[in-house]
Amino acid sequence: MRRLLIAGNWKMNKLQSEAREFAAQFLPRVAAVEKVDIVICPPFTSLWVMNSALAGSRVMLGAQNMYWEEQGAFTGEVSALMLVDAGCQYVIIGHSERRQILGENNFLVHKKIARALETGLKPILCVGETLQERENNLAMQVVQEQLQHALAGLSLESGDVAVAYEPVWAIGTGINASCNDAQEMCLFIRKMLAELYDTELAARTRILYGGSVKADNIEKFLQQPDIDGALIGGASLEPASLAAMVGVGENAK
């Protein structure tokens, strides 16, 4: 039985004071949650603040990105070891905004996944197609290539990596994939993992949906057999909203 994972990606939002206030309002709302793993991914500047604020709770800390080298002359970058030192257990890798806006490709995503695993971080690997790729019937081909390149040659244990399917056309647009489309792609990802590794690892890997997920639509996604949680963007910025979605997960499946 796969535990649900609800991850909040704050993107480039919230100052440190706002992060503290969020934690103060959010943690009491989820204190009784037992069936859902919760991860908050704030900007780098708030990692230490949130690590302190989340201490003693079951809410885990994640980062939104990392660099693949351990240390060195890489101005502006943050290493996996630095993330662990800041209290992180998870890291988002290959988010569509980094792929589409900042030019991150499959080769770089692979290097980041490999380093994260070596360092003990659990990657949330993001995959997904653009609207044009979907309209050209290339969605599964694109996702397959992203998955194969990201994990090429890597040895995985169950639970090492979560995969988040986030169709690019649904990120921050208010448009989400239908629950059937999301389930179809998440099942496809699970089948791909079985081909790359084995059916046991595929069956244990958590596959999330991300793309304009909100409190009023998350339930229909979590009801799908191959969707094991959500990677939530804008709706994770409000404590009540994120707590409501965690609550749906607590009562799902």
Residues assigned a catalytic role? 95, 166
Which residue bears the tokens 């409190």? 215
Phi, psi of 81 (to 5 degrees): -65, -35
Selection from 212, 211, 206, 213 nearest residue 253 by Cα: 206
- Using an 8 Å Cβ cutoff, are 226 and 186 in contact? yes
* C-alpha torsion angle, residues 199, 205, 211, 215 (rounded to 10): 120
Distances (CA, A) of 192 to 23, 58, 140, 189, 201: 37, 31, 10, 5, 11
Residue 66 and residue 148: Cα distance in Å, rounded? 20
Maximum pairwise Cα distance, the chain: 49
- Using an 8 Å Cβ cutoff, are 73 and 144 in contact? no
Residues contacting residue 195 through CB under 8 Å, at least 6 positions apart = none
